Amino acid sequence: MKGQNFYLKGIMPNDDGANYKELSAEEREKLERFKARLELEKRIRERMALIRHKVLVASGKGGVGKTAAAVNLSLAFAAAGDRVALLDADIHGPGVPLMLGMADVRPTGSGGGINPVAYNENLVVMSMAFLITGDADAVIWRGPLKMAMIDNFLADVNWGERDWLVADTPPGTGDEILSLAQRIKNVDGLIMVTTAQAAAVASARKSLTFAVKTGVPILGVVENMGPFSCPSCGHEVSLFGGGGGERVAADFGVPFLGAVPFDPEVVAESDLGRPVVVTRPESPAAKAWLAITAKVRELVSRRAGRRME
């Protein structure tokens, strides 16, 4: 039976009859793994069916503000009254709890699952950072263990009924983002975050190509760390030039969602767990994230309407 589908031998996942008894110990072990996989996929489908929209936030390289994008988008959705689940899917470098001022929080369990941690009444969060003991602890895992943790986040966290799942994915085109796209299946789209820096734009192109090849819909491109005004003279300064995000969006034929100006105070406050959308909603950076969130909402709503027609 090696290499053959159990279904072709007349053995169903819940079968313990004569056919099952004829299996060798090795074959029984394979069947049990097969049954466990089916059960896991069932739990993922059931959890994800309770969430209306799923969005992946990605970047080609680190250091472009991808986690800040996921955090501020989630907060903007929540501020509008939506129920939001924010999944920090970066197993090796989870940064969401730090930016939300939740670094010392630990989740609880109930009903056979893990309860996500509540930031406020509309936003709940799950991260690997909640499950390790200190900020210096390193997660030294190969791909299969990382994929197993992603599966657990999707299948065993008590997300409940939500309007949005926002997943902060690791930079690049690694296992985690591919696993999320495959497991969730009906992802509404991917948001690519970049700066105008040439290296960031080149990496963003690779990640967008990955999305195209794997069939993940692209919602659009965000250019972070754009021009800022000098606090002394008011002169506008571009750290990395400008327009890189807009150009790459045009090259791939996807929407340019907007540019977020660089603000040193925003960076400092983020490190202290004070996201700009919450602490300074009238600032240019916060207004940019709110406008980007509105565009994402419109795009997802429009695409969902087309799927229903």
pLDDT tens figures, 232-290: 776 777 776 667 899 999 999 999 999 999 988 888 898 899 999 999 999 999 999 99
Percentage above 70 pLDDT, the chain? 86
Question: Structural domain boundaries of the chain?
Answer: 23-308
Q: How far is Cα 216 from Cα 1, in angstroms, rounded to an integer?
A: 36
Statement: residue 9 has pLDDT above 70 = no
Q: List the one residue out of 45, 106, 94, 37 whose CA is nearest residue 70.
A: 94
* Tens-digit pLDDT profile for residues 160-183: 999 999 999 999 887 788 889 889
**What CA–CA distances, in Å, run from 166 to 57, 115, 288?**
7, 17, 18
What mean pLDDT value characterizes the chain? Answer: 87
Angle between helices 175-184 and 25-49 (to 10 degrees): 70
The whole-angstrom distance between residue 236's C-alpha and the CA centroid of its chain comes to 33
Q: How far is 240 from 247, CA to CA, in rounded Å? A: 14
Mean predicted confidence (pLDDT) in 143-150: 84
Task: Return the exposure string of 158-185: e unless at least 16 CB atoms fall within 10 Å of the residue's CB, then b.
Answer: bbeebbbbbbbbbbbbbbbbbbbbebbe
- What is the per-residue burial (b if ≥16 Cβ within 10 Å, else e) of 208-235? bebbeeeebbbbbbbbbbbbbeeeeeee
Closest by CA position to 65, among listed 240, 280, 237, 249: 240
Q: How far apart are CA 266 and CA 72, in angstroms?
A: 11
Report whether CATH 3.10.580.10 matches the domain 23-308: no
pLDDT at 12 over 60: no
* Separation of alpha carbons 72 and 151, rounded Å: 25
The 10s digit of each residue's pLDDT in 98-138 is 999 998 889 999 888 999 999 999 999 999 999 886 654 66
Residues in the chain: 309
